[in-house]
Structure 1
Amino acid sequence: MPRLLLATVALSVVLSACDAPAPPIVPAAIGPVASAVPAPSPDEVAYVTAMVDHHRQGLRLVEVLRERGGVPYRISNLADHMAAIQKTEVTDMTDFLNAWGRRLPSAPMHMSEARIDALRTSAGAAAGRTFLQLMIAHHEGAVQMSTAVLPAARNPWVISLARHVIADQSAEIAAMRRAVQEPL
């Protein structure tokens, strides 16, 4: 009987809490948000612009890989994963630049056409291995660029982006290095 009484009291407390009015929602102070965030410096704009180009080149590598036949599933799946992330990040970075009134100039590709042709002319497991080798070097470049921008970065979004690129692409580098060592 005491258990039933305890359960009844507990249920009454819970149900009465449901009838309690919600605390009032107090709007935050409204003011110019942009003035609270430092505008990106020319170096930060250059970094974000370079990362857009860098990501687009990575997406190009994935497109070339998709054209190859017989690529091991594990590698094509990894490539699709990276492409999905990088497409979203290109949109985010472009929106960031547009929000600050910065145009996205065209920048030269970082990887030579000869290296891309090596992927284009391979197939199957060889294409998968070539893709991994190219993408490892490509990601290492992104990590270096991101590491270089951090010491002088002041814009919180740019700092967050650089840290994100370092963390995510370092993890992807490790996964790709493991995959290169395994039989494909």
Structure 2
Amino acid sequence: MTRPARWAIVLAAGVALLAVGAIAFSIGRLSTLGDPTPTDASVEAGFARDMQVHHHQGVELAMIVRDATDDPDVRLLAYDIATTQAQQAGQMYGWLAEWGLPQFGSEPSMAWMTGPAEGGGGHDGHGAGVGEADASGHAPGEPMPGLATPAQVEELRSLDGVEAERRFLELMIAHHAGAVEMAEAALDRSDYPVVVSLAESIVSSQQSEIALMEDMLAERS
């Protein structure tokens, strides 16, 4: 595929993702109407902020590999991941807008995740103090589970063909596992309807995709 053709595909995909995000933003705002408003330091707000960051990197990794391979199965998987995670990120952006909360809060990342799991009802809960890890071993301000490092992202950018496919699958399996961990932490700490619904969807869909990607990786070993 020529470079101009690749850029045309990337541009078209980017426009599609922006449209998906805009629609999801509107849905996210409407979906929270009638429910109590979470606070800035709540589990719900922390989850919405951190999972947006996590999903944005998922979209980035997916779009990198879509431009690095001609394999139809990998390209289809990457497109599905990018569109799904862009849509979900748009939803969470919409939640925060509807709640009147900033997209970037005063709490460090993962503060909501490191507090005690009480089986839901964490609307006003705070996480552990900065630098204090909970029983899961996470501490507020540390990188979210499963995030690729900047060096790993740049490594993926440098590859193409089967090498890019393998590295993408390795990174995305870890990325999905981290998202599942975050979603399960939200389910343990919140009973807010839209948060529970999205977290359950993330756990189900990404566990299924992990199994698929493990098979795809084995085929390329």
Correspondence list, 1:89-168, <5 A: 89-105=88-104, 110-168=147-205
Matched letter for residue 51 of structure 2 = M
Question: In structure 2, how many angstroms separate the alpha carbons of the residues matched to 1:71 and 1:39?
Answer: 46
Kept after mapping to 1: 8 A contact 2:66/2:74: no
Q: Which amino acid aligns with 2:80?
A: H
Cα contact 1:71–1:128 (8 A) shared by 2: no
Q: 1:170 to 1:143 in 2, by over 3 A?
A: same
Deviation at 1:113, TM superposition (A): 1.0
Aligned to 1:24: none
Unaligned runs of 5+ in 2: 1-31, 110-142
Find runs of 4+ consecutive structure 1 residues off by over 3 angstroms: 106-110
Q: Which of the two has higher C-alpha Rg? A: 1
For 1:48, the equivalent position in structure 2 comes to 48
| Residues 51 and 179 in structure 2, CA contact (< 8 A), matched pair in contact too | yes
**Deviation, structure 1 residue 111:** 2.3
Contact persistence 2:180–2:203 (CA under 8 A): yes
Q: Tell me if the contact between 2:59 and 2:83 (Cα under 8 Å) persists in the aligned partners.
A: no
Asked if the contact 1:40–1:154 (Cα under 8 Å) also holds between the matched residues in 2, the reply is no
Gaps of at least 5 residues in structure 1 are 1-32
Give the alignment's TM-score, normalised by structure 1. 0.74
3-state SS, counterpart of residue 51 of structure 2? helix
Cα deviation per residue 1:19-53 (whole Å; 9 max; x = unaligned)?
Answer: xxxxxxxxxxxxxx95x523335121101111111
Counterpart of 1:19 in structure 2 is none
CA distance, structure 2, for counterparts of residue 135 and residue 38 of structure 1: 35
Higher relative contact order (CA 8 A, sep 6+): 1
C-alpha deviation, 1:123, in angstroms: 0.9
More helix by share: 1
1:176 matched to which residue of 2?
A: 213
Q: When the two structures are aligned, how many residues end up with a matched partner?
A: 150
Q: Secondary structure at the match of 2:101?
A: coil
Tell me what 2:36 maps to. 38
Distance change in 2, residues 1:111/1:183 (3 Å): closer
**Mapped partners of 2:211, 2:55: distance in 1:** 18
